[in-house]
Amino acid sequence: MEDRLKNLKKSIEVDRFPLCIEKSRLLTESYKTTEGEPMILRRGKALENVLDNITIFIENDELIVGNAASKPMGLEFDFYAGLWSRDEIEGLKESGYSISADEEAEILEINEYWRGLNPNRRMGQLFDDKVWAFMQSGMLLPPWKSKEEGSGGGYAESGMGLGPGFFLMTVDFEKVLTFGLNKIIKEAEEELKKVKADNSDSQEKTDFLRSVIIAHKAIIRFAHRFADLAEEMAKKESNQTRKKELERIANLCRQVPAKPARTFYEAIQSFWFIFLLTTPSPVASIGRFDQYMYPFYKKDIESGATTDAEVLELLQCLRIKDMQINRTSGTVARQKNAGMAKWHNMTIGGVTPTGKDATNELSYLILDAIKLCPTPHHTVTVRVHEGTPEPLMLKALEVVKIGIGMPAFVGDNSYIGFLLKEGVAPKDARDYAMSGCIDAAIPGKSRIGPYGMFITTKVLEAAMNDGIDPRTGVQLGPKTGAFTSFKSYDDFYNAFKKQLQYFLKLHAAKNNIELQVLAELFPDPVRSSLVDNGIKEGKALLDRTMPFENGAVMNPVGLVNVIDSLAAIKKLVFDEKKVSTEELKAALTANWEGNGYADMRRMFLAAPKYGNNDKEADSIARDVYKLWADTTVQFETRLGGRHKPTGVSISAQWPGGAMTGATPDGRLAGECLADGTVSPMRGMDRRGPTAVINSASKIDQVPYQAALMNMKFHPSALKTTEDLRKLSFLIRTYFSQNGKHIQFNVVNKDTLVDAQQNPERHKDLIVRIAGYSAYFVTLGKPMQNEIIGRTEHEQAA
Amino acid sequence: MTGGADTKGVIFNIQHYSIHDGPGIRTTVFLKGCPLRCFWCQNPESQTLEPVIFLNTERCTGCGRCVDVCPERAIQIIEGKSQTDRNLCKGTGKCAEVCPNEARSLMGRTVTAREVFDDINQDAIFYHNSGGGITLSGGDPVAQPDFSISILKLCRDAGIHTAIETCGFARWGILQRILTYVDLVLYDFKHMDSAKHEEYAGVPNDIILENAKKIYHELRLPLLARVPVISGYNDSSENLKKTAAFIANDLGTDIKVHLLPYHRLGETKYERMEEPEKAVSIQPPDDSKMEEIKKIFESNGLTVQIGG
């Protein structure tokens, strides 16, 4: 067993990721034969062509089968986010991807076909001048280069579904595992019989149901192809153990996902086929895996059909399978989401729909699987409520200790509170799962469409420059007065409000345009049928209203920098009048350089900052977060709901910072913005983690669908069980105050070495050793070396 | 007024989410002033009652702004770097205020007990959830008894668990007054040989050991023994056996022992205080050594933990 996992782990370590063209070739081939047909049918047929013909393989030692691309660890070109140019492909080759010359030539040819289906061009047609200026400004990342190219470059991703990928949702896995796809096909066939030709939406429904039937039958055939392959391989296999495994795999793939899963092994295989069809997607959610898999686990354990050791092995295999689903994108978008970012989030713990503690044996085994197989994906989030057993918290924190940033913790109080406020029924609210990073989703009952990264510091700049973007000189927002004309903080804050209102309106317009274009061009019969009432509704995901309608969100990046800037302006410019508006303006334009501006910068750096339980800064934080939430919900979406405020920054704080000049919080031009949503600016939290939590608790997080908090610790703060218990109290206290989320970054040796060499990047790094705590970068070199030595040692232990 | 909320004192740090200074989530208040002068001291800036200037020469650019503002004219620029005449320096901190490079910082500030309490009390919810509270450390809280008492009283009244970390070198009357408001004592044992104790820490250990017995037997306060392990100075098996025997026999085996391996974090601080001649270089004990020492204490029936 150990050998199997060792080999599987090795199989995902590749020097260069192969870029694959088979999937887009098959899609395009089908598209060419279906021109003129309704899009939903074309898509079903295209998927059929892919699943029936794409190269499949079963790798040595694999127990769960179903590959995500036509080559091992490959990424298939995708066109839903835009076209691929020669330059962008060159860019990929330079950053660790490979493609043969022939295939490169072919993909550029396929590219040409997709020009007509280019979503950017279609969106560009719908942008008015104001939205177009907004899209170019980069206030909503990434900035658009042209209406044809969008932000430049499409996506290359693995996964067997149709996409588009950026839907944050959890499909109804439970239904597939329990009833099988045959049942869904049957439902669709029966519904089709009931369609009355004289109904207004009957044609749309007919096309949809036909597409669903085609797609699901194709998925079953896809599984059968694996069954055939496994049988064939079993015949040739000389190793008896592997032979038996392959025969078992063949049986699995004949049973699921067509028919109900009968065992844990069948259930996990069925899950994998369906999950594969919800990708390509960096945000496909695994949902509450410990809940819907539990009946299968329990039955098998009770009957003696399986053991915890076998379950643990399969859970590790699942982690490996998820590492096979990768994604890359054009150069600009690659910056927004650093690395091969993806958020295949598995949710464990929390309460059941009836409000009881949901923790079970699987919750623990899932954490054990991370410890044994600490791959960066899939990620795991622990739902925490008052009755969450302490052993689960301690086990989860044992995993945190490894230093791979997972699991994350989320508070049931705040999430369920949000959903109830949104009018969701209590039993559904209690059943929420993480989608994407940490956004609330209700399995099968909600989906979020395009997800934006809105750079709020650009709004602050507009408010300080009479609506002009100082980076480009373009009059981007309304004229709300020169900064020097403001007589009071309230005057200025009103200008900021007006600018925010204006830009969020444009953001809403862009979201609705994108929702429209995605609905037109990329309906997906698979995911659309695996949601609540999907068959009866008879509509694609973006053509219907969901039980919890959160189809579009607004996500602020750098709001903490805005808050700190407002706090400094209020105190130094308007309350104490130590600096005039003219002087501040000049200092910012000069990027705090020359003319005594360095001293002025120190004053602004020393002004109250969010994250220190400081009354003044925190009350501004509360106001600004409320303003964002209140403004967001004003705007309707074309899906029948309103925009929801959310808060995750991924890595948008870097490009967002690069586009923002010097800010009154003392930040230099181009410097990275604050990360997360309710985390303080790096190095500005001077009073430790409890003060950060006190500050964050003052923001009303309940109206938010997510609010990300990152915290860094040195491993010495998580050494003993007693330390973990204390951290658990810290988490529980935060959640009792309606905090939404917290995750811990346990620093490793490499980070410390980097901090020693590049102190400016690591101003926030706190190390605590033997009760002594200090900012790492302020320590002398011998001390730093000592700590680096210890860190290595403690993490090895 | 003794013990009032307006009582002033000097502190050099308040550390929130302190997890290695007693039970639960705590806030540790570091008070200035210490009756001992352990030459391995890891917080030498805490020894005097007065605030002291730290100078990080690596960051100093020799701009000279500190020179202009120093009321004592204690600063000069020599070979492009600022230097402080420590005999003249009164720790006003003016230089730290103007230093554009954060090369100078002031360790120590005067505050009232009420101000300290307000800061501590912000974390009340964490103490109550975790069984934590506050720990007065230093320096040593015995160096500012009235101030210590004032803080402890305010915490007691607010229902916050109180602990002090002390070397125990104080007149019994003073210590007893402080301990009236204390729930847990973290008590240091540095050396069992009084002459050695005097050589290394500046004072003999007789009062310290006597006080420990009184705290345990007369006041019956919960004690936690903290034993620093300083290679080559107090880590002989003879001394450690005596220490373990004292804790187990003269006090009791219900006392938990924390062995604190020496770490080098204090070694560069003397440079910052411009007294490099006082700096020591001691090798921290390795893990196997700590395990050996742990066994010595365990063989006396004590429960031992390595690290705070």
What DSSP letter does each residue of A666-722 carry, written as one string? SPPTT-----SSSSPPTTT--SHHHHHHHHHHHS--TT-S----EEEE-GGGG-SHH
Task: Find the residue in A nearest to B104 (Cα).
Answer: A778
The whole-number pLDDT of residue A354 equals 97
Q: Do A688 and B20 touch (CB under 8 A)?
A: no
Q: Where are the strands (E) in chain B, listed by range? A: 8-18, 26-31, 52-55, 75-78, 81-84, 104-107, 109-112, 133-137, 161-166, 184-188, 223-229, 256-261, 303-306
Chain B closest-CA separation from residue A292 CA (Å): 33
| B264 contacts on A by Cβ (under 8 Å) | 782-783, 786
Q: Using CB atoms, which residue from B100, B130, B284 is nearest to A598?
A: B100
Chain B residues within an 8 Å CB radius of A786:
263-265, 284
Q: Give the residue among A510, A738, A518 at the shortest CA–CA distance from A643.
A: A510
Give the CB-side neighbour count of residue A494, counting CA atoms within 13 A: 11
Tell me the C-alpha distance between B228 and A497, whole Å. Answer: 57
Cβ <8 Å between B16 and A688: yes
Cβ of A733 within 8 Å of Cβ of B58? The answer is no
Chain B CB contacts of A722 under 8 Å are 19
Judge whether B103 and B59 are in contact, CB under 8 Å. yes
Q: What is the pLDDT of residues A340-392, one digit of tens each?
A: 668 899 999 999 999 999 999 999 999 999 999 988 889 999 999 999 999 99
**Which residues contact residue A735 at a Cβ distance below 8 angstroms, ignoring those fewer than 6 apart?**
A384, A385, A409, A411, A412, A413, A414
Contacts of B93 in chain A (CB under 8 A): none
Nearest chain A residue (CA) to B102: A778
When mean pLDDT is compared across A76-85, A749-758, B182-191, the lowest value belongs to: A76-85
- Chain A, nearest residue to B258 by Cα: A770
Burial class (CB in 10 A: 0-12, 13-18, 19+), A237: middle
pLDDT at A55 over 60: yes
Spatial neighbors of B33 by CB under 8 A, at least 6 apart, are B10, B46, B47, B48, B49, B138, B139, B140, B143, B144
Judging contacts by C-beta atoms under 8 Å, the chain B residues touching residue A598 are 100
Which residue in chain A is spatially nearest to B56 when comparing CA positions?
A: A780
For residue A713, what is the nearest residue in chain B, using CA coordinates?
Answer: B17
* pLDDT tens-digit readout, A66-104: 999 999 999 998 877 777 778 888 888 887 789 999 999
Q: What is the DSSP letter of A640?
A: S
pLDDT for A605 equals 95
- Summarize the confidence of residues A421-432 as an average pLDDT: 97
Q: Where are the domains of chain A?
A: 176-259, 288-310+333-438+708-745, 747-797
Helix (H) or strand (E) holding A391, with range, is helix A390-400
Residue A770 has pLDDT above 50, yes or no: no
Q: For residue A114, what pLDDT is reported?
A: 87
**How many Å is the maximal CA-CA distance in chain A?**
85
Q: Give A196's contacts (C-beta < 8 A, 6+ positions apart).
A: A202
Query: What pLDDT sits at residue A764?
Result: 65
Within a 10 A sphere around the Cβ of A361, how many other Cβ atoms? Answer: 14
Which residues of chain A lie closer than 8 angstroms to B123, CB-CB? 690, 694
Q: At what angle do helices A129-137 and A489-521 cross, to 10 degrees?
A: 100
Do residue A772 and residue B125 have CB atoms under 8 angstroms apart?
Answer: no
Tell me what the mean pLDDT of segment B89-98 comes to.
93
Instruction: Please give the mean pLDDT across all residues of chain B.
Output: 94
Identify from A397, A772, A793 which residue to disrupt to test chain B contact, counting B C-beta atoms within 10 A and taking the largest count. Answer: A772
pLDDT tens digits, one per residue of B32-72: 999 999 989 988 999 999 999 999 888 899 999 999 999 99
Q: Report the chain B residue with the minimal C-alpha distance to residue A688.
A: B16
- Encode pLDDT of A280-299 as tens digits: 888 899 999 999 999 999 99
DSSP B28: E
**Closest partner residue to B264 among A613, A689, A783, by Cβ?**
A783
Phi, psi dihedrals of residue B277, rounded to the nearest 5°: -65, -20
How far is the C-alpha of A626 from the C-alpha of A645, rounded, in Å?
Answer: 10
Mean local confidence (pLDDT), B231-238: 94
Angstrom distance (rounded) from CA B64 to CA B83? 10
Question: What percent of chain B has a predicted confidence (pLDDT) above 70?
Answer: 99
What integer pLDDT is reported at residue B123 of this predicted model? 96
Beta-bridged to residue A743, according to DSSP, are A710
Chain A residues near residue B307 by CB distance under 8 angstroms: 719-720, 770
One-letter amino acid at A747 equals V
Residues A613, B122: C-beta atoms closer than 8 Å: yes
The per-residue pLDDT of chain A, averaged, comes to 92
Of A602, A690, A720, which has the smallest distance from its Cβ to B17's Cβ? A690
Cβ separation A688–B58 shorter than 8 A: no
Q: Nearest by CB to B15, which of A725, A770, A773?
A: A773
Instruction: Provide the H-helix boundaries in A522-673.
Output: 525-529, 534-537, 559-568, 581-589, 597-606, 615-632, 653-658
Tokens of B212: 């420990």
Q: Give the closest-approach CA distance of A605 to chain B in angstroms.
A: 12
pTM for the whole thing?
0.93
The whole-angstrom distance between A350's CA and the closest CA on chain B is: 20
The sign of the torsion formed by the CA atoms of A747, A750, A755, A758 equals: negative
pLDDT > 90? residue A61: yes
Q: For chain B, how far is it from start to end, CA to CA, in angstroms?
A: 35
What domains can you pick out in chain B, each with its CATH number? 8-48+109-306 (3.20.20.70), 52-107 (3.30.70.20)
Measured in angstroms, the CA of A385 and the nearest CA of chain B are apart by 14
If one compares A771 and A619, the residue with the highest pLDDT of the two is: A619
E strand intervals along A333-460: 345-349, 379-384, 408-411, 433-435, 439-441, 453-455
Our CA-based measurement puts residue A734 at a distance from the nearest CA of chain B, in whole angstroms, of 9
Q: Please answer yes or no on whether A720 and B307 come within 8 Å at the CB atom.
A: yes
* Higher local confidence (pLDDT), A330 or B21: B21
Q: Which residue has the higher pLDDT, B253 or B276?
A: B253
Give the end-to-end CA distance of chain A in Å, rounded to a whole number: 24
Beta carbons of A690 and B24 less than 8 Å apart: no
Distance, in angstroms, between B204 CA and closest chain A CA? 26
Asked if B129's CB is within 8 angstroms of A726's CB, the reply is no
Cα–Cα distance between A70 and A57 in angstroms, integer? 8
Selecting from A722, A729, A780 the residue whose C-beta is nearest the C-beta of B268 gives A780
CB A769 to CB B17 under 8 A?
no
More reliable by pLDDT, A195 or A490: A490
pLDDT of B170 reads 97
Q: What is the pLDDT of residue A772?
A: 47
Q: What is the pLDDT of residues A691-744, one digit of tens each?
A: 999 999 999 999 999 999 988 887 778 888 999 999 999 999 999 999 999 998
Instruction: Point out the residue among B28, B129, B263 whose CB comes nearest to the CB of A769.
Output: B263
In A, which residues are within 8 Å of B19 by CB distance?
717, 722-723, 726
Q: pLDDT (tens digit, 9 = 90+) per residue, B94-120? A: 999 999 888 999 999 999 999 999 999
Q: Could you give the CA distance from residue B265 to residue A779 in angstroms, rounded to a whole number?
A: 9
Residues whose CB is less than 8 angstroms from the CB of residue A425 and which lie 6 or more positions away in sequence, other chains included: none
Put simply, the answer to whether B268 touches A782 (Cβ < 8 Å) is yes
Report the residue from A723, A733, A778 with minimal CB separation from B19: A723
Give B-chain residues touching A726 at CB under 8 angstroms: 19, 24-25, 130, 132
Query: Closest by alpha carbon to A435, among A527, A363, A345?
Result: A345
Assigned token pair, A642: 């309103």
Nearest chain B Cα to A386, which residue? B129
Q: Which residue from B minimizes the CA distance to A771?
A: B20
**Residue A386 identity (one-letter amino acid):** E
Rounded percentage of chain A residues whose pLDDT exceeds 90: 74
> Residue A773 — very low, low, confident or very high, per pLDDT cuts 50/70/90?
low
Q: Which ipTM score applies to this complex?
A: 0.90
Instruction: Locate all alpha helices (DSSP H) within A437-580, ordered by sequence.
Output: 457-464, 489-521, 525-529, 534-537, 559-568
- Position A480 scores a pLDDT of 98
Interface A–B counts its CB contacts (< 8 A) at 95
Distance from CA of B32 to the nearest CA of A (A): 15
- In tens, the pLDDT along A292-329 reads 999 999 999 999 999 999 999 999 999 999 999 988 87
Residue A1 predicted with pLDDT over 70? no
Interface contact A780-B20, CB threshold 8 A:
no
Tokens of A590: 């000069």
Contact A711, A747 (CB under 8 A): no
> pLDDT confidence of A768, banded at 50, 70, 90?
low
For residue A549, what pLDDT is reported? Answer: 95
Kindly determine whether residue A694 and residue B24, on different chains, have CB atoms separated by under 8 Å: no
Inter-residue contact A347 to A381 (CB < 8 Å) = yes
Alpha-carbon gap: A687 to the closest alpha carbon of chain B (Å): 7
How many CB atoms are closer than 10 A to CB A97? Answer: 18
Q: Is 60 exceeded by the pLDDT of residue B295?
A: yes
How would you write A320-361 as a 3-class SS string? HHHHCCCEEECHHHHHHCCCCCCCCEEEEECECCCCCECCCH
Q: Pick the most confident of A19-23, A118-122, A500-504, A647-651.
A: A500-504
pLDDT at A797 over 50: no
Give which of B256, B265, B282 to mutate to test A binding, by max A Cβ within 10 Å.
Answer: B265
Residues of B in contact with A723 (CB under 8 A): 19-20
Q: Which two tokens stand for residue A661?
A: 């000049």
Which of A384, A592, A690 should we substitute to test contact with B (largest number of B Cβ atoms within 10 Å)? Answer: A690
Strands A379-384 and A408-411: parallel
Residue contact A726–B260, C-beta within 8 A: no
pLDDT at A564: 98
Query: Distance (Å, rounded) from C-alpha A740 to C-alpha A731?
Result: 10
